[in-house]
Copies of this chain bind each other. A is one copy, B any other.
């Protein structure tokens, strides 16, 4: 429309269209599940003809796989706060904050992941067996170190991690239920803050986390 719409280079076109498609696909897969999603719906939401989707992504499954992969990488990145922290209060606190923020800003991704895992991970099982296993082992080591240093109680690190994942992702995956129980309205800023504080408060106190000295 404006004079600024210069002709796009081919690389730009490809990048832009792939972005459009992946964005639309994430929403549709989240709302309808893999089986319920249709290429036509994704195409409509992306504003492209269906045949164009198949030009960039040969099959529905390949498109879906890319969506799930992107989510997984996002999650791994968001967990870097874990390692640098001096103790559980900072490390787990920041991790909870980060994951709650993802649940708030990016709920569709969390839903797609949940759906995939619930259906026995037919597409990303290899990721679970390799990357996720390694990541989990590493984080459990950090927790065990904190325990050894007397910075928290000797809780089972594996189940602690599951609690963190469960509680934070719940706000995305079950967002609709939470919204309904909130009178049909999305959580306000204040309510989101209360959620974060409650989760952090209960878990950090529950594991007997000791504040790091000199903070």
List residues of chain B with CB within 8 A of the CB of A119: 31-33, 36
In the complex, are the beta carbons of B136 and A181 less than 8 A apart? Answer: yes
A33-B34 in contact (CB<8A): yes
Q: In the complex the two chains form, is A118's CB within 8 Å of B167's CB?
A: no
Partner of A111, one of B118, B163, B178, B205: B118
Given A166-B167, A170-B162, A195-B159, the answer on whether A128 and B177 have CB atoms closer than 8 Å is yes
Which residues in chain A, 180-195, are within 8 Å of chain B measured between CB atoms?
A: 180-181, 194-195
Q: In whole Å, how far is A156's beta carbon from the nearest beta carbon of chain B?
A: 5
A33-B34, A165-B170 are known contacts; what are 5 more A-B pairs with Cβ within 8 Å? A31-B119, A35-B36, A162-B167, A162-B178, A205-B207
B33 near A33 with CB under 8 A, answer yes
Binding site for B on A (CB under 8 A): 30-37, 111, 114-115, 117-121, 125, 128-129, 132-133, 136, 155-156, 158-160, 162-163, 165-167, 169-171, 173-174, 176-178, 180-181, 194-195, 198-199, 201-208
CA distance in complex: A129, B179 (Å): 10
Tell me whether A155 and B201 are in contact in the complex, defined as CB-CB below 8 angstroms, given that A133-B181, A180-B121, A180-B132 are known contacts. yes
A-B pairs with beta carbons under 8 Å apart, 25 shown: A33-B119, A35-B35, A36-B36, A115-B115, A117-B177, A118-B173, A118-B174, A118-B176, A121-B177, A156-B195, A158-B181, A159-B195, A159-B199, A162-B174, A162-B178, A165-B174, A166-B174, A170-B170, A201-B206, A202-B203, A202-B206, A202-B207, A203-B206, A205-B207, A206-B206
